[in-house]
């Protein structure tokens, strides 16, 4: 594990995980546990996803988001599936941690898990058919190919997490058999004629990620910030060729906050009319019927369980609803006993 020279989080080379060297695999797992315990964020190199595919996925974002607005809104979801396009100021992620701020300056395009048999009753929100823009075959092909590669990486990191936490090898893989895996392309742009921004305005408001873990591909430029233990915002800039991974709420619940689900945000560093900032976040949220409760080995007399039992689906759905409806959730229920009142 090496120090991140462009930010505050460790860089882990996971290439040894793909070998037959058990000692090298254990070392990767040890580094992962240390990073997730101390920071909740890390950068991943040696992941095996080509630079060509990564860059192609980012470039296809330009092809879609630079379209005229009417060509984008036709793929806005109307059925509650959260698939397709969402416009600027249509969401406020800070609401999910009880922080009331203006809606976020981000456009997004979302795809996710599809059911091979169509659209079963009760699975509209989790396994709905993806909605694609017409006349953009390359966008669809490359985006779908990147989704599969990033999803595979998330499954690999979950396997490493099982070893890192000294759980049975199939602990996480058995909880990913019918996983909800959502990918969100984020397009941050300041308009040329946009007035001065209010100091409360975020590109993407402060939040934690809701599921198991997140794999993030982003332009090598500032914007992402994480909240430190000292309640200070720390800049994180991706290393070239690296992915950023962060711990989601589910991992924090299972480990009773031994692994941190760190609050993070994106600040509007883009110049008016300047080059947009791009990122692609893949959220590995697991099987929605999976029980979510603190594991017994992470409970002691000094550290009692901080979370009430629920399911992955209930937790993730409640958090998503807050950001889209501008309703403030029960923060103590969703974040345990952590005090977030003075941090944002």
Please tell me the predicted confidence (pLDDT) of residue 3: 52
Please tell me the predicted confidence (pLDDT) of residue 84: 93
Q: Is residue 277 part of a domain?
A: yes
CB environment 257-275: b (16+ within 10 A), e (fewer):
bbbbbbbbbbbbbbeeeee
Residue range(s) defining the domain that contains residue 236:
49-114+125-334
Average pLDDT of the chain is 89
Q: What CATH number does the domain containing 58 carry?
A: 2.60.120.330
Q: Is residue 22 part of a domain?
A: no
Q: Is residue 34 part of a domain?
A: no
Helix/strand number for the chain, H first, E second? 8, 14
3-state secondary structure of 143: helix
Helix or strand holding residue 152 (H, E)? helix 137-164
Q: Is residue 211 part of a domain?
A: yes
Q: Is residue 146 part of a domain?
A: yes
Give how many domains the chain has, as a whole number: 1
Give the sign of the dihedral formed by CA 16, CA 19, CA 23, CA 29.
positive
Q: In 34-180, which ranges are E strands?
A: 41-45, 84-86, 107-112
Please tell me the predicted confidence (pLDDT) of residue 81: 74
CB environment 15-34: b (16+ within 10 A), e (fewer):
eebeeeeeeebebbbebbbe
The string of DSSP codes covering 269-337 is: -PPTTSPPEEEEEEEE---TTSEE---GGG--SSS---S--EEHHHHHHHHHHHHHHT----HHHHSTT
Whole-angstrom Cα distance, residue 343 to residue 213?
Answer: 22
Mean per-residue pLDDT pooled into runs of 10, the chain (344 residues): 62 98 98 98 98 98 97 87 89 83 92 72 69 96 98 99 98 96 96 82 93 98 94 94 98 98 93 92 96 96 95 87 50 44 44
Q: Is residue 20 part of a domain?
A: no
Please tell me the predicted confidence (pLDDT) of residue 1: 59
Return the number of other C-beta atoms located less than 10 Å from residue 297's C-beta: 13
Please tell me the predicted confidence (pLDDT) of residue 101: 85
Please tell me the predicted confidence (pLDDT) of residue 8: 74
CA-wise closest residue to 113 among 79, 147, 78: 147
Whole-angstrom Cα distance, residue 66 to residue 77?
Answer: 19
Please tell me the predicted confidence (pLDDT) of residue 191: 84
CA 7 to mean position of chain CA atoms: 18
Torsion of CA 142, 223, 207, 278, to 10 degrees: -10
Please tell me the predicted confidence (pLDDT) of residue 273: 84
Q: In 26-134, which ranges are E strands?
A: 41-45, 84-86, 107-112
């Amino acid at each position: 594990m090496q120090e991140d020279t462009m930010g505050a989080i460790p860089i882990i080379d996971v290439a040894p995980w793909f070998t037959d060297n058990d000692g090298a695999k254990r070392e990767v797992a040890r580094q992962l546990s240390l990073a997730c315990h101390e920071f909740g964020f890390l950068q991943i190199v040696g992941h095996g996803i080509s630079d060509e595919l990564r860059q192609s996925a980012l470039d296809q974002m330009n092809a879609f988001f630079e379209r005229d607005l009417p060509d984008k809104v036709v793929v806005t979801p109307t059925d509650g599936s959260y698939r397709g396009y969402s416009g600027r100021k249509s969401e406020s992620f800070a609401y999910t941690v009880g922080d009331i701020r203006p809606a976020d300056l981000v456009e997004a395009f979302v795809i996710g898990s599809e059911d091979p048999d169509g659209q079963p009753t009760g699975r509209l929100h989790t396994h709905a058919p993806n909605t694609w823009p017409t006349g953009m075959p390359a966008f669809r092909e490359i985006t779908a190919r990147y989704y599969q590669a990033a999803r595979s990486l998330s499954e690999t990191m979950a396997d490493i997490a099982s070893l890192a936490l000294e759980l049975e090898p199939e602990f996480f893989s058995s909880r990913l058999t019918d996983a909800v895996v959502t990918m969100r392309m984020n397009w941050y742009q300041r308009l040329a004629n946009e007035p001065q921004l209010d100091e409360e305005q975020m590109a993407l408001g402060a939040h934690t990620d809701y599921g198991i873990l997140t794999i993030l591909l982003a332009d090598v430029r500032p914007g992402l910030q994480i909240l430190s233990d000292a309640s200070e915002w720390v800049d994180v800039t991706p290393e070239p060729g690296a992915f950023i991974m962060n711990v989601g709420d589910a991992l924090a619940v299972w480990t009773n906050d031994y692994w941190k689900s760190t609050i993070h945000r994106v600040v509007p560093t883009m110049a008016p009319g300047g080059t947009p900032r791009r990122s692609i976040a893949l959220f590995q949220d697991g099987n929605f019927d999976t029980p979510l409760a603190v594991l017994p080995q992470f409970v002691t007399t000094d550290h009692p369980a901080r979370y009430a039992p629920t399911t992955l689906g209930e937790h993730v759905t409640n958090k998503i609803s807050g950001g889209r409806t501008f309703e403030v959730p029960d923060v103590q229920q969703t974040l345990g006993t952590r005090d977030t009142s003075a941090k944002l």
